[in-house]
Amino acid sequence: MTQPIAIIAKGLVRERQRAGLSLAEVARRAGIAKSTLSQLEAANGNPSLETLWSLCVALNIPFAQLMEPQASRTQVIRRGEGPAVVAELADYKAVLLATCPPGARRDIYLLTTQPGADRLSQPHPPGSVEHIIITQGRARVGLAEAPVELYPGDYICYPADQLHIFKALEPDTLAVLVSEQQ
């Protein structure tokens, strides 16, 4: 079981970085010592409700957002699966793969890849997520410690703020990459 201070520490770091604020600035806004905030981010201490509330106000977040662990997860949707909406007047089906969180930025890329060396990507900024759809060929994609083999039409979503990989398994493998940052 995760201790509350560990959840609070991760939440403070995540939300401070997401806001682009320094330790000193958040501490100033919250009216606490920078050393106190540093200790809390290191999962040391036993903050009062008032201190946590002040930090949430300084970060402009609801209290619950600080207390709830943000679960980064990998999601795979195989071709033919996923929530679909079908048109009545045309042979047209739309499968929802992912929604965009408020305030996120998305960049879209077409990847053309060949077998050979792995494309190992270092972690991107906190909260980054990547979405990939294989359109041709096969590839092993996802978090470096648990990549998933994908085929044409398959979709994967994974937290890109962790070490991740793309490895083409067939010549001329094509994929659409959507990079999302909050």
Query: What is the per-residue pLDDT across 128-141, written as a single tens digit (0 to 9) for each?
Result: 899 999 999 999 99
Residues 136 and 115 in one domain: yes
What's the pTM? 0.56
> Residue 109 is part of a domain; what is its CATH number?
2.60.120.10
Q: Is the pLDDT of residue 103 over 80?
A: no
Residues 111 and 52 in one domain: no
CA–CA distance, 125 with 160 (Å, rounded to integer): 8
Q: Mark whether 90 and 143 lie in a shared domain.
A: yes
